[in-house]
Chains A and B, each alone.
Chain A
Amino acid sequence: MSGHNESILREPLITGKDITYAQITDEILLPVENKPNKAWWIGFIVALCGATLWIVSVGYTFWFGIGAWGLNKTVGWAWDITGFVWWVGIGHAGTLISAVLLLFRQNWRNSINRSAEAMTIFAVICAATYVVSHMGRPWLAYWVLPLPNQFGSLWVNFNSPLVWDMFAISTYFSVSLLFWYTGLLPDIATIRDRAAGMRKKVYTVLSFGWNGNVKTWQRFEAVSLILAGISTPLVLSVHTIVSMDFATSVIPGWHTTIFPPYFVAGAIFSGFAMVLTLLLVVRKVLGLENYITMFHIESMNKIIILTGSIVGVAYLTEFFIAWYSGSEYEQYAFINRATGPYWWAYWMMMTCNVISPQLLWFKKIRTSIAATWILSIVVNIGMWFERFVIIVTSLHRDYLPSSWTMFTPSWVDVGVFVGSIGVFFTLFLLFLRVLPSIAIAEVKLLLKGASEQAKLELIKEGHLDKEQVAEYVESLEKFDSVKQEEYAKI
């Protein structure tokens, strides 16, 4: 890092004037070290109401059984698995940002990885609660583990994708948690060394005695890189295995080999959308505009266009293959999706996932905070409908027309789903209060090379190519956190 200046063509990752290391610490720890403001309390109370609804709905399910849901003899799997896949998908962005972008040396990940990883962990918790609550007898949840038992040692069915899924989700959750917590240690130590009294004691225990000496930091970087290396295939495998829950069955509409890549793209798509939904609010409320800049927002929007388009291609491919296969069941399943009684769900999915993200090709929309925020929510609605379409429309018209039916959710179905969003936000808001929402140490790394002030310094020195400087200054126009007057003078 020393004596090495970053190219002026790269857009700055930290904006603002006269930012110091101490200021970075102060600004990021502001919500952790102070009493929460009104906005936080309002959000927290609303989220807590949601979480209460979740407890009531899941409690009701446990007490009365799965019959409390709107399932019938034809549609035996509906909102539960839809919610599960939706949450697991959302849980993909965090590890993608922290692992894949680390391997590709994308430094813009530094200011968004922490909260994205936290979001991953909370989303996977929400997904896991679906698994447990839809078991019917959750107190026997440990039966999914291959434990020696008293039933003549009857093992779990290792050929079943549901067992694979259990392995995949629990590995994903625990590895993400390790990655996240190890990355948090230096920042927890920062809080510890500024705190006093009881707070200091708590953060001392949590910091594992971190002191930031040379060897610890060097090993820390080695560990991060290896964890990134193993998490990259892991994150791809998790949604692959989730898709196999469907793809290894013989239900028309599910039985397709395109599912793994299509699900993975969809997961990244929805994950990034959720990151944007959360971070655009966090950035505003916590005043982190200098760290989560327009460049970050635009980069995430570009990933959304890419993955959204992959998902779109997958939808069309499915249709083509259904026709090309010559299997009439397969053909009917797809015609029924688009034109049958659930046509509205299908077109909702098509509009939200394929058509509206294409608006992000326009730079005006891609760099508008309001438009990005709305589109990110639209994407998440679309991704929920995608799972609903795949699951319910494939099941509701089975092989016997006499058993064709529609699915109507009960209040418990709705309660579990809405409640899980409440659980997610409760956890996320608590996270914002007790842990730094941006990786402090990693952002400090960017200050000397990749910040706006460092680049301004370089421009003032005047040894740079004029055209490149002009291009750089032009790229700053979209930033809402950059004072343009500074550059008008140059």
Chain B
Amino acid sequence: MSNIKYILGSFGDPDEMMHGIEKLQENNIKIHDVYTPMPIHGIEAKLGVKRSRLDIAAFFFGITGTITMLTGVYLATAVDWPVNIGGKTHFALPDFIPITFELTILFCAFGLVGSYYASTHLFPGRAPRVMDLRATDDRFIIAVDAKENTDHTKIDELLKGAGALEVKHNERKYISYE
């Protein structure tokens, strides 16, 4: 058994990489992940990445902001310290629409970005799990788990046939780890 953990197909062109994904999938070879320097549209459907539910989360974060502001202002102006301003109503709703709107946006944005960072494990200081350093520059990398898919020569051929400029056999999963 060789020590190869991952086989990386390094493409110079996104269309060729898409072609490579198709080739591998036609041959029932499971793709571990794909690393690209820019978003590639249509790739998530091929790899079966589910639709994001962040929009739903964002809506509920926003609503939380709305409710927080309205409750807070109501408690402050009508319950805790009602001020009589010429007999006007204590809880003058139209006046509070601008700030309620602002807090809705604030909660929505922070909740959304917070959930995004949490769901994709992004946080300051996290060790980057990079398989190929050029994946953030000019290469489109398809990673195949070499332990699960044992016919390495076939994988190499398929990747090369699809137009991979380079095929790497990595003995370490993440080369970015010191």
Contact of A2 among B18, B73, B106 (CB under 8 A): B18
Q: Tell which of B38, B49, B125, B135 touches A218, judged by Cβ atoms closer than 8 Å.
A: B49
Interface residues on B, range: 35 or more
Query: A219 near B37 (CB under 8 angstroms)?
Result: no
The answer on a CB contact under 8 Å between B109 and A218 is no
> Using a CB-CB cutoff of 8 Å, which residues 86-145 of chain B contact chain A?
92, 95-96, 98-99, 101-103, 105-106, 108-110, 112-113, 116-117, 119-131, 133-138
Answer whether residue A227 sits at the interface, using C-beta atoms and an 8 A cutoff: yes
The chain A residue with its CB closest to the CB of B58 is A226
Task: Tell whether A43 is near chain B: CB-to-CB under 8 Å.
Answer: no
Q: Judging by beta carbons under 8 Å apart, are B62 and A219 in contact?
A: no
Chain B residues near A182 (CB-CB < 8 A)? 113, 116
* B12 → chain A closest CB, angstroms: 8
What is the 8 Å Cβ interface bit string for chain B, positions 9-31, against chain A (1 contact, 0 not)? 00010110010000000000000
Q: Which residue of A lies closest to B107 (CB)?
A: A171
B67 interface contact, C-beta 8 A: no
CB distance from B162 to the nearest CB of A (A): 13
Chain B residue contacts of A37, Cβ below 8 A:
none
Question: Are the C-beta atoms of A221 and B33 separated by less than 8 Å?
Answer: no
The answer to whether B130 and A211 touch across the interface, beta carbons within 8 angstroms, is: yes
Q: Chain A, 152-180, contact with B by CB distance < 8 Å: what is the 0/1 string?
A: 11110011000110011001001100110
Q: Residues of A contacting B41 with CB < 8 Å?
A: 1
Q: Is A397 an interface residue (CB 8 A)?
A: no
Evaluate contact between A214 and B33: CB separation under 8 angstroms. yes
Decide: B99 and A220 in contact? CB cutoff 8 A. Answer: no
Residue B52, interface by CB 8 Å? yes
Say whether B128 contacts A215, CB under 8 Å.
no
Find out whether the CB atom of A220 lies under 8 angstroms from the CB atom of B39.
Answer: yes
- With contact pairs A153-B80, A209-B123, A210-B128 given, residues A25 and B138 touching in the complex (Cβ less than 8 Å): yes
Complex CA gap A185/B133 in Å reads 15
A122-130, A229-237, A314-322, A479-487: which one contacts chain B? A229-237
A214 to chain B, nearest CB (A): 5
| Also in contact, A158 and B96, with CB within 8 A (given A152-B81, A171-B105, A445-B39) | yes
A-B contact pairs, 5 of them (CB 8 A): A171-B102, A175-B109, A214-B33, A223-B54, A237-B98
User: Considering the complex of A and B, which 3 residue pairs feature the smallest CB-CB distances, nearest first?
Assistant: A209-B126, A21-B138, A22-B138
A contacts, CB < 8 Å to B: 1-3, 20-22, 25, 146, 152-155, 158-159, 163-164, 167-168, 171, 174-175, 178-179, 182, 185-186, 189-190, 192-194, 204-223, 226-227, 230-231, 233-234, 237, 240-241, 244, 440-442, 444-445, 448
